[in-house]
Structure 1
Amino acid sequence: MRRALCPVETLYVGQRSRAVLSCEVRGALDAALLARAFDEVITEHPTLRSRIVPDGDGHAFELLGPQDRPALRVRSDVDTAHGDELNDPLPVGGPLVRATLASDPVGRRHLLVISVDHAVIDGHSAIALQNAVWDRYRALADGAPLAAPAERGWPAPISGLLPPADDTAVAEHLRRRLAEVQRDPVELLAYDGPRSGGRIEVRRLLLDADRTAALREFARSAGVSVHGLMGAALLSVARSRLGGDDPRVLGCLSPVDLRSRISPPVPPSEMVAAVATHLHALPVAANPDPLVLAGETTAHLRAAIARGEHFHDMRITPEVPKHPALQMATVIATNMGEVPGPRLPAGLDLVDVRLVPGREHYFPQAGRSPLMACVVSFDGRLAVELPHHTACFSAEFMRSFRDDLRSALLSLPTPRGLLT
């Protein structure tokens, strides 16, 4: 059985991007039962039991045979498992999902890492997948009566569910967007790495529940979004790396979730990529006012969504390979918002949960690129994951960037000093 990839999904074949989810727990865990839970969850989703194959002039999802079906892998080195999985690709033609359980020798500390190709998921469905595996494991561990997993049909590509649009309007949107990126090309951050060797690493900024709640309260009181505050902080830190006193044109690329914006809505449990992208290029001063910058970032994105530009942005996505500037930004700021972490059975305690984007291809020879920041709040704690390849951005560069980002957020001029 096959299902052709739509033009938007086809872009991920070349990009080789993926989501890497991890969940650390402590307590008694039954690896065989977790393997069964994972198997039952992927049974329900044909895209998670597929591979990508050539199909005419394009590509298609093709169901894997029983011998190639993904199964839970088990290893013992908990401390290195996340980094190893982050650097282990999901090549074209192989399974689109991989699950690995690492447990310490005494069996009390465990890390489940799930890697999924972005051709079949976005951030919201990746989180839903991780939670579904733990939900199934909890039900099995509790002895709850469960129906056999029901196989679903192929999910429709989101690009085929968009509201109707006039071809002339789409062409005009593309013309306008191309004129914007040609008029205001954004600056990128220069690499400081050795340009060879290296591996994917990630620097992390984690706020506790109190500071996360304070940040949200401050955003509401200031009339901006948390995403706007985060985008402003990222742009400010990036601007500080460019030097000089004059404003510099920087860009912030924001994914826009389409699941709730189409009719009928598509739930996160549907394993399909459902995001468009919004690029905002603007002059950023050497020492910008954080609230003014956050206000500009918030207003620009909200206005674009109100005009329905996110639908047109998805429709013109197939033009990106010919016009890379359409998605060329100084910083890429994803934001999943506040989402629930996994619910575990009695006897297991949740230690940490993470979502880190990764990809297979980095190009240190390019000399510069956007910087990625994945923002998500699991169970009320905001985390910013900053993945990078050390042949491009060094560990020292990213550590400094992370520390300055933290300072930018915690030094926001709140009326009551909420974040300090």
Structure 2
Amino acid sequence: MSWISPTPRKLSLEEMVHVPEATRSRVTVVCTVRGEAGGVDEKLLAQAFATAVGRHPSLRSRIRQDGPVAYSFQPLESGLPELQVRPGGPSALAEEINTALPPGGALVRAVLLRGEDGEVGGDGEDGDTFVLSVDHTITDGQSALALNHSLWRAYAALADGTFTAPEAAGQDLPAPLSARLTPYPQEDLAAYVAARGAQVHGVSMGFLPYAAAGRERTGQGPLMDVARVRLTVEETARLVGAAKAGGVSVHGLVVAALLIAIRQQLGGQPADRRLGSMTPVDLRSRLSPPLDGEVLVPAASFFFDVLDVPDDADPVALGRRVVDNLRAAMERGDLAREILAAPQVLRDPSLMRASLVTTNLGSMPVPGLPSGLEITDMRCFALGNASFPQAGRGPLGAAVLTVHGRLGIEFPHSTDCFTPEQLRDACDSVRATLTGLAS
């Protein structure tokens, strides 16, 4: 395959929100691979990753700052990114997810954490661990997972001798989401922004306190960590059944359980009853023409809601409100408006406030591997490079993905903001709510 230097293009506003060091984040996919002695063939995986880099101009690009609020994608000045192979171990995954992508460098990193026979590969389990990190300016959860799947498809084809080199890669980066949306009149967008303001201005909203702020860090623990709740196959199936019986989606129940967990930690203050919920919503299937999941571009809009969560909130009723409000916003076309009105929305920080940010990636099959290898677990979450404990309080982030019939909820967070006790209490509460519904 011939690799052509990407054509530079400016970042759109919705892409630029991920660029500053203060907010810059990356989407990370983690795969646990178990199998026969020898594990993953690193030469084949390196070749599969090189194929992915060749197919996507975004992965051969870097970001250059051209002005105070101007950035552009430019060709990489150094060599193309290659697969990195490192020893695994109990702390290997934590070290990897705490390693930022280099400023001005490649927008992707692929790492294979080797597990020796009988030892962990990086995620605390036997086997190898593959970690794919992609800059959020060029991806979202759906396209990061699609990239991971395509990489493993190439690996399987290389292993069984059926691999066919793709056609020569192009040089144009995909157009941003805002360029793919049908425009709205400016007066329509202004009315939308005004309605968003009326929803939050003057509202006292509850947030989890940053209980770790001001504490002296002990030891060499990671700055960024990921807590996790994972249901069994049986619990997940019962939860799906409970959602159907209650006339609500699983997403609605999960968001309700998360809101209830936050409310429980805030105590009984009346001012903390109202919580802000933000949900990224993938627009790929709603575009005309639809956008394939393998196109590396952030294609999610954001739905903001404010909900009253009393002490004795019923998760089914609360979940219905979550889903009904989201469905109404989609029918009104508000998800497109949120992206197109970004210049106005971003001028008012109060419009971006949320007590909870929930990314739901749905149910995803794992990539198929050659005989003798199996991906036994797959995770996906976003992590930033910086934290702001000085803010005193902030949102809880959650990423939801069902793999092998097991619903999992990831809680990426800064240990400078949230304490282990806060995350443990949140996980225990969410698990209790969801398993209670599934009983």
Unaligned runs of 5+ in 1: 413-418
Equivalent-residue separation in structure 2 for 1:18 and 1:78 (angstroms)? 23
Aligned positions of 1:175-214 closer than 5 A: 175-195=194-214, 197=217, 199-214=223-238
State the SS of the aligned residue for 1:139. Answer: helix
Matched, 1:374 2:415: no
Deviation at 1:249, TM superposition (A): 0.9
2:16 is matched with which residue?
A: 10
The aligned runs of 1:231-380 (5 Å cut-off) are: 231-244=255-268, 246=270, 248-380=273-405
| Aligned-residue RMSD, C-alpha | 1.7
Of the candidates 1, 23, 37, which is equivalent to residue 31 of structure 2?
23
Match of 1:88 in 2: 99
- Counterparts of 1:51 and 1:103 in 2: how far apart (Å)? 28
Tell me the equivalent position of 1:70.
81
Equivalent position to 2:48, from 37, 40, 65: 37
Shift of 1:122: 0.5
* Distance in 2, Cα, partners of 1:381 & 1:135: 23
Structure 1 residue identity aligned to 2:138: V
Aligned to 1:160: 179
Match of 1:224 among 245, 248, 263: 248
For 1:83, the aligned partner's letter is A
Shift of 1:284: 1.1
Tell whether the 8 Å contact from 2:193 to 2:345 is kept in structure 1 after alignment: no
Pair 1:125-2:143 in alignment: yes
Matched, 1:151 2:169: yes
Residues in 2 aligned to 1:262 and 1:33: alpha-carbon distance in whole angstroms:
36
Using the size of structure 2 for normalisation, the TM-score is 0.90
The Cα shift of 1:245 comes to 5.9
Distance in 2, Cα, partners of 1:380 & 1:104: 25
Structure 1 residues 78 and 352: alpha-carbon distance in aligned structure 2, compared to 1, 3 A threshold: farther
Secondary structure at 2:303 match in 1: strand
Distance 1:244 1:365 in 2: 25
Q: Where in structure 1 do 4 or more consecutive aligned residues deviate above 3 Å?
A: 105-108, 194-198, 318-321
Gaps of 5+ in 2: 1-6
Q: In structure 2, the residue corresponding to 1:12 is in which secondary structure? A: coil
State yes or no: 1:173 paired with 2:192: yes
Partner of 2:71: 59
Residue 405 (1) aligns with residue 430 (2): yes
C-alpha spacing 1:171/1:321, structure 2 compared with 1 (3 Å): closer
SS state at 2:311 partner: coil
Give the TM-score normalised by the residue count of structure 1: 0.94
Q: Secondary structure at the match of 2:376?
A: strand
**% identical aligned pairs:** 40
Q: CA deviation at 1:164?
A: 2.4
Q: Tell me if structure 2 keeps the 8 A contact 1:78–1:110.
A: no
Deviation of the 1:335 alpha carbon: 0.3
- Give the CA deviation at 1:340: 1.6
- Kept after mapping to 2: 8 A contact 1:77/1:102: yes
- Give the CA deviation at 1:320: 4.5
Native 8 Å contact 2:368 2:374 kept in 1 = no
- After superposition, the Cα gap between the structure-2 partners of 1:308 and 1:148, relative to the gap in structure 1 and judged at 3 Å, is closer
1:409-420 → structure 2 map (5 Å cutoff): 409-412=434-437, 419-420=438-439
**Partner SS state of residue 42, structure 1:** helix
State the Cα distance separating 1:7 from its structure 2 match.
1.1
Q: For 2:28 and 2:327, locate their aligned partners in 1 and report how far apart those are by CA, in whole Å.
A: 29
Aligned residues: 413
Q: CA deviation at 1:64?
A: 1.2
2:135 and 2:146 map into 1 onto residues whose CA distance is 14
